[in-house]
Amino acid sequence: MITKKQIFVMSATAGISVANIYYNQPILSDIAEDLNISHLAVGNLPTFSQIGYGLGLFFVSPLGDKMNRKKLIIILHILLGLSLLGLTFLNNIFVLYILSLLAGLFAVSTQVVIPMAAAMSGKEKGRVIGTIFSGLLSGILLARTLSGYVTEWFGNWHMIFAISALLVFVTIIFISKTLPNMESHFSNSYFSLLKSSIYQLKRFSLLRRNTLLIAVSFGIFCSFWTTLTFKLSQAPFYYNSDIIGLFGVLAIGGAMLAPYVGKLSDKINANAIKLISVVMIMISVFLIRFFDTSLYAFILATLLLDIGFQSIQVNNISQIFTLDEKAHSRINTAYMSSMFIGGSIGTFIGVLCWEAGGWNFVTLQLIILSFISLIIVFYSLISKK
C-alpha cells in the first residue's frame, strides 16, 4: 500500500523534474543580452527543451516496463542534475542548445513516476494520481514565475538552473530512501518495447478516446497560456511580465483541487466528471471572449480552465491505468506523447491565430476546440467498449 510520504516524494519529484522544461522561457531576453546574441538564436532554447522531452517520452519512459523503475528514476535524475550544472556554468549558445535538449530528455523521469504511482496505489488510483498531478502541474505553472523572479533577484540567469540542480540532487536522496524497488514485466528487446508502446493504442479503444480528448484539451490549455501573455500586455491591461506571471500562481489554486477530483473519480462515473469538466472549459473560453476587458473574467476563466483541464487529466489517467498493469509505462507513453503533440499544435495554432486576427481569432479557435472536446466526451458516454 502506498504511503503519504511516498506520495509526497513522487509529487515533488514530478514537479521538480518537469519544471526544467519551462525555466528558460521567461528569461530568454536576459540570456540574449548576457551572451550578446539575437532573440531568434536564444528563442531556440525552449524548442530544444521540448524536443528533448518529446524524445524522452517515446524513447525513455517505456523503459519503466523493462527495468527497475526506482533505479531508472535515480539514473535520470543524476543525468538531469549534471545537465543543469552545465547550464549553470556554460555560456556558449550551441552548448546550451545541447544541454537544454538533454535537460528535457532526462526530465522525463516524471513519466516514470506516474505509472509507478499507479501501480502502487491499488484501488485509490484517482486520489493518488490526482496528488501526483498537483505536483506536476504546480511545477509547470510555477516554473515561469520562479525563473523570472530568481533571475531578477540575483541578476544572473544561471542561478535558476543552479537552484534546480540542487533540488534535483536532494530529491535523489528522498527517492532512494522512500520509494520501493519494483520488478519489470517486459523481457523482450528494446525495439519491441517501443513498438509495443504504439500497439497499446490499437489494443484499447478507451485509450484511443482518452488520448484524443487529452490532446485537444491540452491544445486548448497551451494555446490559452501562450496567447494570454500577448493579451494582458496590451490595452486595457498593459501588465508587465511579473504581473502576468502571477496568473500562473493563481492557477496553482486549481492544481490543489486535483487530489479531490481524483478521489471523486474513484466513486463517480469518470465520463460524467469529464463532461462537467469540458463544460467548465467552455464557460472559461466564453468569458474571455465576451468579457475581454474584465480582469475578473480572466481570473475566473483561468481558474475554470485549469480545474477543468486537470479534472479531465486525472480521470483519463485513472481510467487508462486500469487497462493492463504490466504495460503501465507503455500505455503512459502512448497517452502522454499524444498529449504533448496536441499541446504543441495548440500553441502553434494559438500564435498563428493571434498574428492573423488577434484575440477574436484566438478565442474562436478555442471555442471550436472546446466543442470538439464535447463531442469526444459524448461519444465516450455512449460507447460500450
CA atoms of 100 and 53, how far apart (whole Å): 10
Tell me which of 268 and 96 has the higher pLDDT. Answer: 96
Percent of the chain, pLDDT > 70? 92
**Full set of structural domains in the chain with CATH:** 1-184 (1.20.1250.20), 197-385 (1.20.1250.20)
| Average pLDDT value for residue range 36-56 | 82
Q: Which residue has the cell 540542480?
A: 165
The whole-number average pLDDT for the span 52-63 is: 89
C-alpha cell at 252: 496553482
Answering whether pTM is above 0.85, one says no
Q: State the pLDDT at residue 215.
A: 94
With 60 as the cut, is the pLDDT of residue 385 above it? no
> What confidence tens digit (pLDDT) does each residue in 304-363 have?
998 898 889 888 988 888 888 888 888 988 998 888 888 878 878 887 898 889 999 999
- Give the mean model confidence (pLDDT) for residues 168-184: 92
User: Hey, what's the cell of 376?
Assistant: 469526444
Set of cell numbers at residue 182:
519494483
Can you give the pLDDT at residue 114?
A: 86
Compute the distance between CA of residue 365 and CA of residue 109 in angstroms, rounded to an integer: 33
CA distance to 105, 299, 327, per residue, from 96 (Å): 14, 36, 35
* Torsion, Cα of 380, 270, 73, 157 (10° steps): 90
Q: What integer pLDDT is reported at residue 241 of this predicted model?
A: 59
Task: Write out pLDDT tens, residues 272-293.
Answer: 888 999 999 999 999 999 999 9
Report pLDDT digits (tens) over 235-254: 898 886 567 667 777 777 66
Alpha carbon of 322 to those of 300, 332, 353: distances in Å?
34, 12, 38
Average of pLDDT values for 39-53? 79
